[in-house]
Amino acid sequence: MILEFLAVILVISACLAIYLDEAEYSVAALACMFILMAITYALNGAIFVAVFQFAVSIGTLSVLFLSSEMLSEKPDKKPVKNIFLVIIAGLLLSVPAIFLSVTTSPANVSLDVSFAQALWNLRAIDVVSQGLVMMTVAIGAAIILYERKESKS
């Protein structure tokens, strides 16, 4: 039950990270999503993936927070009603996927693989790609900050 609750909060925080206009709040929602993802990995037995997720996300979030503080303009305030609509949309997106069962046909693959082994052995390219995407974001933010500093000089 705890994993389902974490998944719902994870989807809601991801929706808020996309929806919120103020960069600081958006980065805070993204931080919540990254932390919940690391906790989900840890609860599924993939401790090393959780530590990797946490370490990479902390570095990315620090760069995003600093660049958003320096580069973003302060937008007009949105009504709170719209944020509640985003939360309801996140709930609607996550609840059916969690609580509806899907029938699957048995595969010819051995099921003696733990979650951690499956994540590292079968999905290692996804985990490494996520780290590369985050590194690219950090490098892009650094380039933008450098060019902005040069244009002011």
- So where are the chain's domains? 2-152
Q: What is the pLDDT of residues 132-153, one digit of tens each?
A: 877 777 777 777 777 777 887 6
What is the C-alpha to C-alpha distance for residues 95 and 100, in angstroms, rounded to an integer?
8
Mean pLDDT over 41-58 rounds to: 82
Res 46: pLDDT:
79
- The reported pTM is 0.62
Question: Exposed, middle or buried by CB within 10 Å (0-12, 13-18, 19+), for 18?
Answer: exposed
The vertex-51 CA angle with 50 and 56, nearest 5°, equals 100
With cut-offs at 50, 70 and 90, classify the pLDDT of residue 101: low
Res 7: pLDDT:
83
String of DSSP letters for the chain: -HHHHHHHHHHHHHHHHHH-SSHHHHHHHHHHHHHHHHHHHHHTT-HHHHHHHHHHHHHHHHHHHHHHHHH---PPPPPHHHHHHHHHHHHHHHHHHHHS----PPPSS-----HHHIIIIISHHHHHHHHHHHHHHHHHHHHHHHHHHHHH-
Q: Which amino acid is at 139?
A: I
Query: By percentage, how much of the chain surpasses pLDDT 70?
Result: 74
